Amino acid sequence: MTLKEKCAVLEDRVKRLQEIGLALSTEDNINVIFELIMGEAKNITNADGRTLYMISDDGKTMKFEIMATESMNFAQGGTTGVEITIPPMQLFDEEGNPNHSSIVAYSANTGKTVNIKDAYKEKGFDFTGAKTFDKNTGYRTTSVLSVPLKNHENDIVGVMQLINAKDPKSGKTISFSDDMQQQIESLASQGAVALTNKRLVAELKKLFESFIQLIATAIDKKSPYTGGHCERVPEITMLLADAVEKTTEGKYADFKMTEDERYELYLAGWLHDCGKVATPPHVVDKGMKLETITDRIEVMDTRFEVLKRDAEISMLKKQITLMKKGSANGEIKALEEDLTARIGELGLDQTFIQKTNRGGEFMEEEDQKRVADIGNYKWILEGEETNFFDEKDVRNLQIPKGTLLPEEREIINDHIVITIDMLNKLPYPKNLRKIPEFAGGHHEKLDGTGYPKGLKDEEMSVQAKMMAIADIYEALTAADRPYKDGKKLSQAMRIMGFMKKDHEIDEELFAIFVKQGVYKQYAEKYLGEDQLDEIDEEAVLA
């Protein structure tokens, strides 16, 4: 070979190493990285057999990742889809001594390259397995190169083993030259660094996801009434996102998301209520109108019993007076009848207050006035006549919807402001920068009446609109809210149909939610049997 030809070969090798380095740095699929490493090893050495081992996390074994032999048309692992069933190789014996009998185990334990010219003539290593394989198949293992994969911290992460280098012209088996060995060692180093980086990125990604889910779980655990909400909303959101991407008509026919964008939306779903970590539990957990730390309905029940007692005492005093005067039995009987009637009235009022305390979807003005009237009853407290209910008790019992006063609902609503503030402070990578917008927009309404920003249709992203639908549907069907039971499917869908009609949620997204059966997929998994009833989809969408 002339000097010019040698230079050309070297230039080509440098160029290929640069190309493989670039490919390794940009590829995310670990199996593809395995194939790139072994494919380039074949290009450099023209080796007939190739095996890639990766060391386990505990450092005690090596798992087979790729096995291939060109002359036998054999390939397993990597991107082949064929599972390698050979058990992992042990790096230590039962006493904990390093395994140095196998050349790949030796390379893994020592970090040294082993270059064997002829396995049948080599002393010091056990080639029993290779010889048995040769005997059974007619193969002839000759030259063997075992190279450890060392990352940038000089940690050994795996071993590459090449068998039977071939002369490209004659096809005869040759030894692995010093030049080949150096190039394979360089390739192994590049590959190890790439694998370590990808694993590190994957581990950090997993840690980030786990931390997010930990926060969401802590929020759900904070209150027995929101358990699972932070987990279920992202599931509904991604089901809807899948359905939207499959649609072929309407304004979302061209809507598509990359894997990064899907991941961004998924994380936003988990984080959509993270601001609730700062919401006072006594507000989140307010399951009854009179509830503070505990439900004060028992205090009210005690007051009713006091009124009944006082009425009876008053009646008895009057009877004694009449008896002293020698009044007729008829007058005494009339007092007893009046007492019975009064106790009956108080019992009805007591039952009404107990029912009112539970909250609901709507409270009539007449019932609100009745609360005020009962509140004006008089009773003796610490020797002084006072109103039966104080002003705050009346306000609480007159709450027309749910169990929260306006100022308490404002505290609940503030969770989304806190969510946005918290999320805006995180240093996101480029592909996750829209998380605050997606997570912070799930309480906005298309007509501009939502919160916290009062955004309108054109100001909201498709992802935020999808999450709004997911959040509403989960809230309506959830069976663990303090002020209501989970609604039947037909009721929940009817309410959402009205919200669509009032331009609070996106009409076309809701149509996809219904027509593609997203609501049904979720319902079959999470709703109770008593909630699953028939849905008139046409009526819901009308």
Cα–Cα distance measured from residue 344 to residue 328, given in angstroms and rounded to the nearest whole number: 25
pLDDT value for 412 = 82
Alpha helices by DSSP H, listed for 441-479, are 462-477
The CATH topology of domain 223-285+407-541 is Hypothetical protein af1432 (1.10.3210)
Helical pair 229-246 and 518-526, crossing angle rounded to 10 deg: 150
The CATH topology of domain 3-201 is Beta-Lactamase (3.30.450)
pLDDT value for 331 = 84
Cα–Cα distance measured from residue 286 to residue 277, given in angstroms and rounded to the nearest whole number: 16
pLDDT value for 227 = 60
pLDDT value for 142 = 95
Query: What's the token pair of residue 478?
Result: 């959830």
Global pTM reads: 0.70
With tokens 């399951």, the residue in question is 287
What are the distances in angstroms from CA 518 to CA 68, 244, 505, 507, 512? Answer: 45, 10, 16, 15, 8
E-strand ranges in 24-177 read: 47-55, 61-69, 74-77, 89-90, 114-116, 144-150, 156-166, 173-174
Query: Checking phi first, is residue 537 left (phi over 0); if not, alpha (psi -120 to 50) or beta?
Result: alpha
pLDDT value for 191 = 83
Alpha helices by DSSP H, listed for 223-296, are 229-246, 259-271, 281-284
pLDDT value for 108 = 95
Contact by Cβ (8 Å): 239, 516:
no
pLDDT value for 20 = 66
Percent of the chain residues topping a pLDDT of 90:
56
Contact by Cβ (8 Å): 506, 465:
yes
Across the chain, which has 542 residues, the per-10-residue mean pLDDT values are: 67 66 68 84 92 92 93 91 92 92 94 95 89 91 94 88 93 93 89 83 87 83 70 95 94 93 94 85 80 83 92 90 81 89 94 90 90 92 87 92 88 87 90 93 93 93 96 86 72 94 95 95 91 90 88
pLDDT in tens, 184-203: 998 888 888 888 888 888 88
pLDDT in tens, 340-361: 999 999 999 999 999 999 887 7
Q: Smallest Cα–Cα separation from 351: which of 337, 377, 370, 378?
A: 370
Q: Give, as one character, the DSSP assignment of residue 327.
A: -
Cα–Cα distance measured from residue 472 to residue 468, given in angstroms and rounded to the nearest whole number: 6
- Residue 86: how many other CB atoms lie within 10 Å: 12
With tokens 């083993």, the residue in question is 161
Q: Give, as one character, the DSSP assignment of residue 92.
A: B
pLDDT value for 164 = 96
Cα–Cα distance measured from residue 306 to residue 370, given in angstroms and rounded to the nearest whole number: 20
Contact by Cβ (8 Å): 463, 290:
no
